[in-house]
Chain A
């Protein structure tokens, strides 16, 4: 049984390469068919905000990578409900489909469920 890995992504999408580099770990793990989970927390939930415009900053659109998650076999995608609420983002209007919003208790249970965790 391969070990499972949870990535907790805490960085906003427009603050340098950190958000993309966190996602790259997830996609690489998915490409190797490893059990990978991804959770957005704190400013990381801004990655899920609707109608973002990468071209305004001449950036590559991170959204394409986020939407490719299921193609890479990564279906365990979560967001911290508290972080979404704090930032006024509705869990029903996220730019990525099938993201599960989790309470603090559920976040703790999620971390328990994975063998290793990386918080970036």
Chain B
């Protein structure tokens, strides 16, 4: 079974952890994840500037490790990311901003990537809210 997983809430939201646990369970059961797509506040999950207190779960780090380890396609919506200050090197240069906080394994791209994932997956599963 092919899953497209979309996340709409930031890393400090319980739904970010829930999405990651679901994604892990899907792969562990032998399913495929065609793409992770981060939209709205979900773009914050890809920020490399999130600092989590040491005694708490670091979801941004866990997400990046998960995507790298399984070589998944991790796409962050560019319009939602720019609005929320999540920029890769190209965008930071384009808009003359002092910080870059989006790096590999994450990629910035458009909403077409969400539609493309929906078309190639058997199921779209969205996580967001609290």
Chain A residues engaging chain B, CB cutoff 8 angstroms: 2-3, 5, 17-18, 21, 24-25, 28-29, 32, 34, 116, 118-120
Determine whether the beta carbon of B115 is less than 8 Å from that of A34: yes
Q: Does B19 contact A (CB under 8 A)?
A: no
| Residues of chain B at interface, number, CB under 8 A | 18
Chain B residues engaging chain A, CB cutoff 8 angstroms: 6, 8, 39-40, 79-80, 83, 110-112, 114-115, 118-119, 123-124, 126, 128
Contact partner, A118, options B112, B119, B123, B124, Cβ 8 Å: B124
Determine whether the beta carbon of A25 is less than 8 Å from that of B114: yes
Q: Smallest CB-CB separation from A4: which chain B residue? A: B118
CA of A109 to CA of B8, assembled, Å? 26
Q: Which residues of chain A come closer than 8 Å to B79, judged between CB atoms?
A: 24
Determine whether the beta carbon of A5 is less than 8 Å from that of B115: yes
Contact partner, B39, options A3, A21, A32, A34, Cβ 8 Å: A21
Determine whether the beta carbon of B111 is less than 8 Å from that of A25: yes
Determine whether the beta carbon of B126 is less than 8 Å from that of A118: yes
How many A-B contacts are there with CB distance less than 8 Å? 37
Looking at the assembled complex, report how far the CB atom of A120 sits from the nearest CB atom of chain B, in whole angstroms. Answer: 7
SS class, residues of chain A in contact with chain B: mixed
Determine whether the beta carbon of B118 is less than 8 Å from that of A5: yes
Determine whether the beta carbon of B118 is less than 8 Å from that of A28: no
Known: A5-B118, A24-B79, A34-B115. A116 touches B39 (CB 8 A): no
Q: Which residues of chain A come closer than 8 Å to B126, judged between CB atoms?
A: 118-119
Q: Which residues of chain A come closer than 8 Å to B111, judged between CB atoms?
A: 24-25, 28
Further contacts, 15 of them, CB under 8 A, given A28-B114, A116-B123: A3-B118, A5-B115, A17-B83, A21-B39, A21-B40, A21-B80, A24-B79, A25-B114, A28-B110, A28-B115, A32-B115, A34-B119, A116-B118, A118-B6, A120-B128
